[in-house]
Amino acid sequence: MPYLKTGNLSVYYEELGTGRPVLFLHSAYSRGILAFCGQIQPFYSAGWYCYYPDLRGHGRTRCDDLTWDSARIAEDMVAFLDGLNIDKANLIGYSTGGGIAYYMAARHPERVQSLIAIGNGGFVDAAGAKDYTPEALLARGETDFIGKMKALHADAHQSDWKEYMRQEVLDWCSHPALTQEEWKRVTMPMLLIAGEQDMFASSENLEKIRKCCPQAQIMIAKGCGHRPHFPHERVRDVNEWMLGFLGKNGG
């Protein structure tokens, strides 16, 4: 699979399909292909050109600098589109990836055809973040989770899993943090998806986004938590919502 060099970053990505581009932006603690495993075949079959990058600090993407945050990754992804000669893309961001999509849409609206956010309430919510510091994980004996982080992100964190976890927690506590003026620049078609039990994307916060972005549609997946698009949740319904939205708004 290919790497794309952008500045000091070597972005690992996977690409599938033909047609109009969809850029998938993954969640924290994950990789592109893992966070959207339930979308690979359906979107490929529906005729979309799908890009699944590993974001800065994650997966097989490489950089000597181990620091990052969502706003910086948004700039990386604009550079990624430049490197692929893509003028405008549809964005699908899950959790942290949703915040990255908001930054891209607010700061580079000319590059975003449409925006779908899954499980991101649009505003800083640090609840639970401190449980994921390396010190807290070690104190609780979370050896399985630590092992996964070491294996999934070895290229990105250069075997410094503690620094990786610290960066994740810092980002969780600080982003997304768009100004009201930035939200007003997010005028492209938007679809906001959340599980009804998702504490990170509450109905209250989604409505706050819609006050700034009245074009936003909101879809709530009944009986779901933070991962409504995963295969063991309501993947068929969520894919139907997303593909229907893209069919009307995807360029």
**Can you give the pLDDT of all 251 residues of the chain as single tens digits?**
699 999 999 999 999 999 999 999 999 999 999 999 999 999 999 999 999 999 999 999 999 999 999 999 999 999 999 999 999 999 999 999 999 999 999 999 999 999 999 999 999 999 999 999 999 999 999 999 999 999 999 999 999 999 999 999 999 999 999 999 999 999 999 999 999 999 999 999 999 999 999 999 999 999 999 999 999 999 999 999 999 999 999 99
Residues of the domain holding 215: 3-123+177-249
For residue 36, give the nearest of 79, 82, 95 by alpha carbon.
Answer: 95
Residue 35, domain member (yes or no): yes
What is the rounded distance in angstroms from the CA atom of residue 127 to the CA atom of residue 113?
Answer: 32
pLDDT of residue 1: 62
pLDDT tens profile 83-99: 999 999 999 999 999 99
Residue pair 47/16 in contact by the 8 Å Cβ criterion = no
* Residues 6+ away with beta carbon under 8 Å from 237: 221, 228
Q: How far apart are CA 222 and CA 181, in angstroms?
A: 33
3-state helix, strand, coil in the chain (%, to 5): 40, 20, 40
pLDDT tens digits, one per residue of 19-42: 999 999 999 999 999 999 999 999
Residue 145 in any domain: the answer is: no
The answer to whether residue 171 sits within a structural domain is no
* Domain CATH code at residue 64: 3.40.50.1820
d(CA 137, CA 50): 35
Q: How far apart are CA 107 and CA 109, in angstroms?
A: 6
Amino acid identity, position 4? L
In a domain, 170, yes or no: no
Please check whether residue 83 lies inside any domain of the structure.
yes
Is 47 a domain residue?
yes
Q: How far apart are CA 101 and CA 41, in angstroms?
A: 22
Domain count, the chain: 1
Which residue pairs, CB below 8 angstroms and at least 24 apart, start in 64-67?
64/8, 65/8, 66/157, 66/158, 66/160, 66/163, 66/164, 66/167, 67/167
Q: Does 172 reside within a domain?
A: no
In a domain, 34, yes or no: yes
CA distances from 162 to 35, 108, 133, 170 (A): 22, 32, 8, 12
